[in-house]
Amino acid sequence: MRDKRDAFMRLVGARPVVMGILNITPDSFSDGGRFQSAEAALAQARKLAEDGADIIDVGAESTRPGHTPVPADEEWRRLEPLLARLLAQTDLPFSIDTYKADIARRATALGVCVINDVWGLQKDPAMGDAAAQSGAAVVVMHNRDTVDPDLDIEADMRRFFDRSLALADKAGVPRALIMLDPGIGFGKNKAQNLAALAATARLRAAYGLPILIGVSRKKLFGDLLGATVENRLIATLAANLTTLARGASIFRVHDAAEHVAAFKVFEAIERA
């Protein structure tokens, strides 16, 4: 696991990193129910790998607005039949999209090398210790229970990240293994989502940590353009290229091949 973790972390910062999304959930907003069977999940993992993804992010609980929380035993029941097979049959590193320490421990014990916590180590008090003991890298995402339209979202993100990093330090998670995610679509309105994306360069400068952007097919683009979920690829590419130019490093996406191509063009122009 640590070899794959270290190879992944070396890649972060060397070039734009594509994190492919694999939801094995019945209710995710974009692809819920499509990859619940073992064969469908394995086929999608192979497709993401063939399309150029650098890492695959597996989640068994939807965290979309209004989702129904899933108990840990149900989350693991969804994951257990698939995770070992995915790891064995796909050469890429994997991350686990969970905010539960028990799920993180079980997944990393199988070989998952990144914990992607949508509550930034703050929902489950045991998550910091689970991350430290596993040796996994960690994505700390900003989140809120409610939307407050009067909130300075950048200031709130900094308060949140400061607390998450303090928890990581206390648990013994090395800073070199931490990435930050502004949490687009989580506890923010349209203006705050845009402000969070616009803050990419300042967050990168303030913390000196890689920034992960997860905007793939999100409601923000429906609000901006009236686009349906199936017609949000161009908007997703535009947002990801804009934040890449502002210093973001990792991009969590449904459409790996299109992002690999776009990032190659971006890098070619930058090097010219």
Active site residue 4: no
**Cα–Cα dist 95/246, whole Å:** 24
**Burial (Cβ within 10 Å: 0-12, 13-18, ≥19) of residue 126:** middle
| Choice among 218, 246, 264, 271 that is catalytic | 218
Q: Which two tokens stand for residue 178?
A: 């931490």
For residues 64 and 91, the answer to whether their CB atoms sit within 8 Å is no
> What does DSSP say about strands 94-97 and 114-117: parallel, antiparallel, or unpaired?
parallel
Strands laid side by side in the 55-59 sheet: 178-181, 137-141, 114-117, 94-97, 55-59, 17-23, 250-253, 212-213
| Choice among 105, 106, 217, 252 that is catalytic | 252
Q: Which position has the token pair 């489950």? A: 124
For residues 124 and 138, the answer to whether their CB atoms sit within 8 Å is no
Active site residue 175: no
Secondary structure element (H or E) that encloses residue 131, with its range: helix 127-134
Whose CA is closest to 89, among 147, 128, 50, 118? 50
Q: 3-class DSSP state for residue 19?
A: strand
**What are the catalytic residues?**
218, 252
